Amino acid sequence: AQSVTQPDIHITVSEGASLELRCNYSYGATPYLFWYVQSPGQGLQLLLKYFSGDTLVQGIKGFEAEFKRSQSSFNLRKPSVHWSDAAEYFCAVGAHNFNKFYFGSGTKLNVKP
């Protein structure tokens, strides 16, 4: 069965520290992969996506993610976190014909001053 797992419900990091949010998926074929961010009271904003090609994907706001097929993972990273990065982050998997879309349960990021 298809699924997306974000094992960390909450993460707290200090401002300026590095960040890695984990995402593992179970899917029958190579999926399309996405990371979204949701700030309080707002809708989702796309950070980055992977369809094919280079497995290291650069996104907005200094985020990057790496697709590792052997580990079925698509972890999100940022070298230096800013206080404005505090939000909830969702990993998602899409079918190639875009008729199915699976979200992880989200990771809430807190940033300490």
- Give contact residues for another protein (rule: CB under 8 A): 32, 34, 36, 38, 40-41, 43-44, 46, 49, 51, 88, 90, 94, 97-101, 103, 105-106, 108
Least separation in angstroms between residue 15's CB and another protein is: 23
**Two tokens at 84?**
């404005």
Contacts 24+ apart (CB under 8 A), 56-61: 59/35, 61/37, 61/85
Q: Which is nearer to another protein, 1 or 70 (CB)?
A: 1
Dist. CA 88–CA 9, nearest whole Å: 9
Give min distance, CB of 98 to another protein, in A: 5
Q: Which is nearer to another protein, 22 or 32 (CB)?
A: 32
Question: Least Å distance between CB 103 and another protein?
Answer: 5
Q: Is-contact 91 34, C-beta < 8 A?
A: yes
Q: How far is the CB of 30 from another protein (least distance, A)?
A: 14
d(C-alpha 59, C-alpha 99), whole Å: 24
